[in-house]
Amino acid sequence: MVSVLDAVGGGANGCEHHDARLLASLDQGRVYALPDAPQGAAIRVFKAADGIRPFCWLDAPRTESSQLSHIENRARYRR
């Protein structure tokens, strides 16, 4: 279990899978492992969120940088 916090400190506790999706959709979000979390949980969530598109549950064309994952944006601007 991890906790994801937004820019103003509001947070949600959850499993790595769901919190990675949440973190991917936040601007300036942070992730912390809860005391009973397996070792490396927070870094796994952080790395997973890097490749997940924000608000991935919305089915829409994704062409703007705010709609792409961090990985996709880095690739797009390296060209």
Per-residue tens of pLDDT for the chain, all 79 residues? 999 999 999 999 999 999 999 999 998 999 999 999 999 999 999 999 999 988 767 777 778 888 888 899 899 878 6
Looking at residue 60, what is its pLDDT?
72
Looking at residue 64, what is its pLDDT?
83
* Radius of gyration, CA atoms only, the chain: 13
Q: Which residues does residue 2 pair with via DSSP β-bridges, in sequence order?
A: 14, 33
Continuous segment of H or E residues that includes residue 32: strand 30-33
pTM of the model: 0.81
Q: What angle do CA 14, 66, 41 make, to 5 degrees?
A: 25
Looking at residue 59, what is its pLDDT?
73
Q: Are 54 and 24 in contact (CB under 8 A)?
A: yes
Q: 70-78 and 41-50 are packed helices; what angle lies between their axes, rounded to 10 degrees?
A: 50
